[in-house]
Amino acid sequence: MKQDYTLHGWQLSYFSGKTRGYLNFKGLDFKDKNVNAYDLMYRIPKKTGAMVMPAIQTKQGEWLQDSTIIMEELDKRHPGSCVTPTTPKQLMAAMLLEAWLDEWWIPIGMHYRWSYPENYSLFINDASKGLLPYVPNVLRKPIAKKIAKGLQNFLPLAGVRKEQFKMMENWTEKTLDVFESHFAQHKFLLGDKPCIADFALLGPLYGHLNRDPAPKRDLLDVRPNLQNWVERCHAGEGKQGAYIKNDEIPETLTPIFKTIFEEFYPMVDDIVVKLKSFIGDKDKISGDHISRSVGDITFPMNGERFSRAGLPYTVWMMQRIKKCFQSLSREDKQQVDSWSQQYGYQSLSNQDLGPELKRTAVTTQLA
């Protein structure tokens, strides 16, 4: 292996775009390798514990999986240009945005890809070339079509249900307008330099909304500030920049944090309720495996109610944020509290996040 790192991912994959943007920004020596069938079905599961992308392989033969952990770990190994803010409000804001962008937006990305058949041929082409690079098209395309069908079977679980299409589209247009106005004034989410949340925003926007033909035309081509941000963030720009001074959070993001506290928090609360009843009164012990989904959850979306399967993984992400909040000094906690109180949220430490969870690839266990 010539490069320090290999990114195993696809252009069309949500979390690969997030990770690639980060690697570009850090200026790390990496090879961008399309995941092939052997890596996806054999090597990645063996090395990381799940059939998932992206995964990073180091020159020394170590494997890292999970975009959040990849950024955390590589920032430790390469401390120049760290992407986690160090001031309390910006730190918590960036972590919350990341969790929301990783978890809430998945149905949005999937809906705009799979509910519009004009997107399918790009997927089939990319997936067939990626999986079976040396096999002729006539043989590999039917295989990619099968994979597409398999992925579509998961749509209802993710909340991509016909009766919710309009709700998701209204919500998305409104939210993208907020980002469009934000990027008319700022280069990145928290100033002139990207943070973990910028890379997380590449998740839904790079591989899905600005690449699949239907959403690209209808949503991104008409929002040039947002589209320019996708390009510069994925290209790794902003190395010379800095976050906004005095730990300020830009006002243009106020509607986004309103959404996080009024919609995403109730989503997490409902997963915790389902998680607790999943665990029940039985004597569970540390290491017990939790199923990937704990059943359907319902929460507010733009004044309506949205349903999808609830994933304990989301709770693990929020527990990680709560631990970080709890490790702040008293003064720093107060700063963050006075910020979240503006959204009616007394303190980030107030949220009941149930029993402590440990991540195992894409699922969780009791800690």
Residues numbered 63 to 102 that lie near ligand GSH (CB under 6 A) are: 66-68, 102
Q: Between helices 137-152 and 120-131, what is the axis angle to 10°?
A: 120
Nearer Cβ to ligand GSH (166/323): 323
Contact (CB, 8 A) for 256 and 181: no
Nearer Cβ to ligand GSH (53/336): 53
User: How near is the Cβ of 256 to ligand GSH at its closest, in Å?
Assistant: 20
Nearer Cβ to ligand GSH (102/247): 102
Nearer Cβ to ligand GSH (8/182): 8
Question: Closest-CB residue for ligand GSH?
Answer: 67
User: How near is the Cβ of 264 to ligand GSH at its closest, in Å?
Assistant: 16
Name the residue among 259, 344, 270, 256 with its Cα closest to residue 302: 259
Nearer Cβ to ligand GSH (189/244): 189
Contact (CB, 8 A) for 106 and 157: no
Looking up tokens 């002729």 gives: 136
The one among 6, 13, 34, 210 contacting ligand GSH by CB under 6 A: 13
The one among 23, 52, 127, 160 contacting ligand GSH by CB under 6 A: 52
Contact (CB, 8 A) for 56 and 63: yes
Helix segments in 153-264, DSSP class H: 155-158, 165-185, 196-204, 213-215, 224-234, 254-259
Name the residue among 275, 264, 243, 271 with its Cα closest to residue 343: 264
34 binding ligand GSH? (CB under 6 A): no
The one among 53, 127, 244, 256 contacting ligand GSH by CB under 6 A: 53
Q: Which residues bind ligand GSH (CB under 6 A)?
A: 13-16, 52-53, 66-68, 102, 362
